[in-house]
Chain A
Amino acid sequence: MNENNTYHEGTGGFNLPESCRVNPFTVPNDYFNDLSSNIHARIQLDKWKGSSNGGFSVPQGYFEDAESHLKTQAKLECLKNSPAFEVPEDYFSKLEEQIQAQVKLEPFREGNDFAVPNGYFEQLQDRISSRIFEEQLKDMSPTSGFDVPPAYFDKLTREITTKVVAPRETPVRRLPIQQWIQYAAAACVAVVLGIGSYNAVVDQPDTAQSTLATISEDEIINYLSASHNSQDMLYIMECMEDHEGTGGICTHVKEEDIEDYLNYML
């Protein structure tokens, strides 16, 4: 007996209704586009999963040096936090001032402000060679070569001392000689003239002597005081002092000599 059911009506050979032939499932966007690259990536990962270090490598000797490297890093970290370097006292307080001073000097660093005389470098070699010769000369001839007699300097001291000290042992007082000599000389001449005139009048009338006799004593004194010569005065003084054997002051002076002297002085 065939079952008479409606379950299989319109299903054809599969016995399903047409409405069931629609796929009710969905997939993400671009799923099938990315699917092949995803599958390849999974295959590659599977390959690496199989290796011992998971695909990573390290430099040679890395693990042997790792310990010392880590210790050094640790020390540096400690030093970073501790104040290893020191600065002088008040360094930072003076630093600004020093920097400003350096800044002010900066323009003067460039160029050379010193000058040299004209032709200095041209003459320099010449001067250096002269200095070299001078040094050689000093080696050859350090002293002048002159010599002195034995004990000369002791003798020199004595001689100089004698010359400078001796005159002071006999102090000489200076008198106001000039005025005194003037009048004394004038008196001397006046006396001589007077005597000469007298003799002339008595013995030989002589025009020259009579001319002299007419000159007054005051005029003679004034003339002598105005035009005296110290050498002559000294000579007259010596004559005045030398009384012995002269028969009186100025008596040995000839009248002609006196007249010549007076004419000379004119």
Chain B
Amino acid sequence: MEDALIISKFADERTREEAFGYLLKKYQQKIYWHVRRMVIDHDDADDVVQDIFIKVWRNLEKFREDSQLYTWLYRIATNECITFLNKKKQKQNLSLDDDSSAYLADTLAEGSYFNGDQAQMKLQQALLTLPEKQRLVFNMKYFEDLKYEEISEIVGTSVGALKASYHLAVKKIELFFASND
């Protein structure tokens, strides 16, 4: 179903639940994987995804359509991920100024629901050495194949800065692979 139709059906109370069902069907997997790649653990991702869609339910009426629906969803998802990760850092008594995601390394090592091979594990370990936002940009470009313009709308950073960030991320991963061979 087209996004415009979902929004218009949602606006009508009689078809709101039906519209939300279509929205879930269309976007829940994309949002889940976007969140999962950030928070690593499946159970954490499950909680965050549910919170995201409850927020969507509450706020979709107010959506002004000044951006695409999926960029709006991604923006909510991204913000919820960052909020969740900050809370996790606080629980572990880590400074919020510490930008790296190294605290998730144990979660990755211990976590179930990972059926990747050695190369994929190494890539995930490399990604956890990156600053959070840089990791976020890398995930969106590399795994989700979003365009720089779309990522710019989601995170609110210029296209040029995103390109530089992605390029740096690739360089760091390359160095990680070279030094951990």
Q: Which residue of A lies closest to B141 (CB)?
A: A134
* Chain B residue contacts of A137, Cβ below 8 A: 123, 170, 173
Give Cα distance in the complex from A152 to B25, angstroms.
13
Instruction: Report if B32 contacts A (CB, 8 A).
Output: yes
Q: Are the C-beta atoms of A133 and B170 separated by less than 8 Å?
A: yes
Q: Are the C-beta atoms of B115 and A140 separated by less than 8 Å?
A: no
Number of interface residues of B (CB under 8 A): 38
Contacting residue for A156 out of B20, B49, B115, B124, CB 8 A: B49
* Chain A residue contacts of B114, Cβ below 8 A: 145-147
Instruction: Report if A93 contacts B (CB, 8 A).
Output: no
Instruction: Report if B53 contacts A (CB, 8 A).
Output: yes
Chain B's nearest CB lies how many Å from the CB of A171?
Answer: 12
* Chain B residue contacts of A133, Cβ below 8 A: 170, 173-174
Instruction: Report if A94 contacts B (CB, 8 A).
Output: no
Stretch touching chain B among A81-89, A160-168, A250-258: A160-168
Given contacts A156-B49, A160-B50, A165-B17, contact A140 B119 (CB under 8 A): yes
Q: Are the C-beta atoms of B116 and A146 separated by less than 8 Å?
A: yes
Chain A's nearest CB lies how many Å from the CB of B162?
Answer: 14
Instruction: Report if A141 contacts B (CB, 8 A).
Output: yes
Q: Are the C-beta atoms of B42 and A149 separated by less than 8 Å?
A: yes
Label chain B's interface by main secondary structure. Answer: helix
Give Cα distance in the complex from A130 to B167, angstroms.
7
Chain A's nearest CB lies how many Å from the CB of B179?
Answer: 14
* Chain A residue contacts of B20, Cβ below 8 A: 161, 164
Q: Are the C-beta atoms of B54 and A143 separated by less than 8 Å?
A: no
**Which B residues from 141 to 176 make CB contacts under 8 A with A?**
142-143, 167, 170-171, 173-174
* Chain A residue contacts of B4, Cβ below 8 A: none
Instruction: Report if A153 contacts B (CB, 8 A).
Output: yes
Q: Are the C-beta atoms of B170 and A130 separated by less than 8 Å?
A: yes
Chain A's nearest CB lies how many Å from the CB of B146?
Answer: 15
Number of CB contacts from chain A to chain B under 8 A: 91
Q: Are the C-beta atoms of A141 and B54 separated by less than 8 Å?
A: no
* Chain A residue contacts of B117, Cβ below 8 A: 141, 145
Instruction: Report if B57 contacts A (CB, 8 A).
Output: yes
Q: Are the C-beta atoms of B120 and A141 separated by less than 8 Å?
A: yes
Instruction: Report if A157 contacts B (CB, 8 A).
Output: yes
* Chain A residue contacts of B96, Cβ below 8 A: none
Give Cα distance in the complex from A159 to B53, angstroms.
11
Give Cα distance in the complex from A146 to B49, angstroms.
16
B119-131 vs A, Cβ < 8 Å mask (1 yes, 0 no): 1111110000000
Number of interface residues of A (CB under 8 A): 26
Q: Which residue of A lies closest to B57 (CB)?
A: A164
Q: Are the C-beta atoms of B57 and A130 separated by less than 8 Å?
A: no
* Chain B residue contacts of A146, Cβ below 8 A: 33, 36-37, 40, 42, 113-114, 116
Q: Are the C-beta atoms of B124 and A145 separated by less than 8 Å?
A: yes
Chain A's nearest CB lies how many Å from the CB of B35?
Answer: 11
**Which A residues from 113 to 149 make CB contacts under 8 A with B?**
126-127, 130, 133-134, 137-138, 140-141, 143-149
Q: Are the C-beta atoms of B29 and A143 separated by less than 8 Å?
A: no
Given contacts A153-B28, A156-B28, contact A148 B54 (CB under 8 A): no
Q: Are the C-beta atoms of B24 and A160 separated by less than 8 Å?
A: yes
Give Cα distance in the complex from A160 to B17, angstroms.
11
Chain B's nearest CB lies how many Å from the CB of A202?
Answer: 57
Give Cα distance in the complex from A209 to B146, angstroms.
72
Contacting residue for B28 out of A141, A147, A157, A165, CB 8 A: A157
Given contacts A144-B120, A145-B120, A164-B57, contact A156 B46 (CB under 8 A): yes
* Chain B residue contacts of A127, Cβ below 8 A: 167
* Chain B residue contacts of A134, Cβ below 8 A: 142, 170
Which residues of A approach B to under 8 Å, CB–CB?
Answer: 126-127, 130, 133-134, 137-138, 140-141, 143-149, 152-153, 156-157, 159-161, 163-165
Query: Which A-B residue pairs are the 3 nearest by beta carbons?
Result: A145-B116, A145-B120, A164-B57
Chosen A-B contacts, 16 in total, with CB atoms closer than 8 Å, are: A134-B142, A140-B119, A144-B116, A144-B123, A145-B117, A146-B116, A147-B114, A148-B32, A148-B113, A153-B28, A157-B28, A160-B54, A161-B24, A164-B53, A164-B57, A165-B17
